């Protein structure tokens, strides 16, 4: 099956669904990515901070799929912000992945307390884009005010903003800001996994009666229903799993449509409660992580 494509603001095509490897241990990453590629995923999302880029690259090589048919995304961590440091971060990631060109390279956090470093890091991404070493650039966990600050000091509008979005935390204001800037919204934790593995006080989206009812009406699972909700609202999704059956389940979401009332009912589940850390709380002192050389 051919995955629908989204066209980024620089005319690069990106699959509407990708496969994430956040918190996937290196020892499990090769098998998980191989299973995803065999299922039909053609976009793999990793990050320097995940420390599994090398294994992602190994899985891609083992797959036998032509490099040009796989969209590879990775992220620069905050300890490698700054112009020269970010250029070197690209080299580290590219060497670990075993590739010469990265399809999408993004800044992992806004680092608002040291935004000058963020701007310099983004200018390095602009240089990498101009040199053809990356095909598209973007950001992650940027709120609307961060996007405005970045726009005022740089030249290239991010192609993607990867943010926490799921039925219990829709971030409608950021989605609107992304749309106004022509930025694709990319949902991490798209089925709300963060609501039950980090803080279970809000309950699991998978057990939500509204989602279960809508899923049953279509003969689908709540996870598939949530992914379909994202896709129909124009977001790119990057579900993660190490279980082959769930990797396949998450992929089978292109054969049904939610009604307008069902989409609205899922929108109404928003609690306004973030599962991940507050973007303004991210500092190099508290979230510093040394990214090793290849």
SS3 state of residue 172: helix
**270-288 confidence digits (pLDDT tens):** 999 999 999 999 999 999 9
Does the pLDDT at position 196 exceed 80? no
pTM for the whole structure: 0.96
**Active-site annotation holder among 50, 81, 122, 168:** 50
Q: What is the pLDDT of residue 82?
A: 98
Phi then psi dihedrals of residue 72, to 5 deg = -110, 125
* pLDDT, tens only, 16-42: 999 999 989 999 999 999 999 999 999
Average of per-residue pLDDT values in the chain: 96
Q: What are phi and psi of 269, to 5 degrees?
A: -80, -10
Which sign does the torsion angle of CA 213, 216, 221, 225 carry?
A: negative
Would you mind telling me the total number of residues written for the chain in this entry? Answer: 294
The C-alpha atoms of residue 135 and residue 266 are separated, in whole angstroms, by: 34
For 137-179, the pLDDT digits (tens) are 999 999 999 999 999 999 999 999 999 999 999 999 999 999 9
Question: Model confidence over 203-218: pLDDT tens digits?
Answer: 789 999 999 999 999 9
C-alpha pair distances (Å), 77 with each of 1, 69, 146, 261, 290: 34, 26, 17, 40, 9
What is the separation, in whole angstroms, between the first and last Cα of the chain?
A: 35
* C-alpha to C-alpha distance for 152 and 130, rounded to whole angstroms: 19
**pLDDT (tens digit, 9 = 90+) per residue, 82-131?**
999 999 999 999 999 999 999 999 999 999 999 999 999 999 999 999 99
Mean pLDDT of 223-245: 97
83 is catalytic: no
For 152, counting Cβ atoms within 10 Å of its Cβ (0-12 exposed, 13-18 middle, 19+ buried), the class is exposed
Comparison of pLDDT for 196 and 232, the residue scoring more: 232
pLDDT at residue 263 tops 70 = yes
pLDDT of residue 6: 98
Burial class (CB in 10 A: 0-12, 13-18, 19+), 36: buried
Say what the pLDDT of residue 159 is.
98
């Amino acid at each position: 099956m051919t995955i629908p494509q989204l066209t980024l603001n620089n005319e690069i095509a990106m699959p509407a669904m990708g496969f994430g490897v956040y918190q996937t241990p290196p020892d499990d990453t090769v098998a998980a990515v191989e299973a995803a590629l065999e299922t039909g995923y053609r976009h793999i999302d990793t990050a320097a901070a995940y420390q599994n880029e090398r294994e992602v690259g190994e899985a891609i090589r083992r797959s036998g799929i032509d490099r040009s048919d796989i969209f590879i995304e990775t992220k620069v961590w905050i300890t490698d912000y700054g112009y020269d440091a970010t250029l070197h971060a690209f080299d580290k990631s590219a060497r670990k992945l075993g590739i010469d060109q990265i399809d999408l390279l993004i800044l992992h956090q806004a680092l608002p307390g040291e935004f000058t470093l963020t701007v310099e890091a983004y200018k390095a991404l602009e240089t990498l884009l101009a040199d053809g070493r990356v095909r598209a650039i973007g950001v992650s966990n940027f709120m609307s005010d961060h996007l405005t600050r970045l726009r005022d000091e740089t030249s290239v509008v991010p192609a993607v903003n990867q943010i926490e979005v799921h039925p219990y935390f829709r971030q409608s204001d950021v989605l609107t800001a992304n749309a106004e800037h022509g930025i694709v919204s990319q949902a991490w934790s798209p089925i709300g996994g963060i609501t039950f593995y980090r803080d279970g006080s809000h309950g699991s989206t998978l057990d939500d009666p509204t989602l279960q009812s809508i899923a049953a009406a279509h003969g689908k699972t709540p996870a598939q229903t949530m992914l379909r909700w994202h896709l129909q609202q124009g977001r790119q999704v990057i579900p993660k799993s190490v279980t082959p059956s769930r990797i396949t389940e998450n992929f089978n979401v292109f054969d049904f449509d939610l009604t307008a009332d069902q989409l609205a009912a899922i929108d109404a589940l928003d609690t306004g409660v973030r599962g991940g850390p507050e973007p303004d709380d991210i500092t190099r002192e508290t979230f510093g992580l040394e990214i090793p050389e290849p």
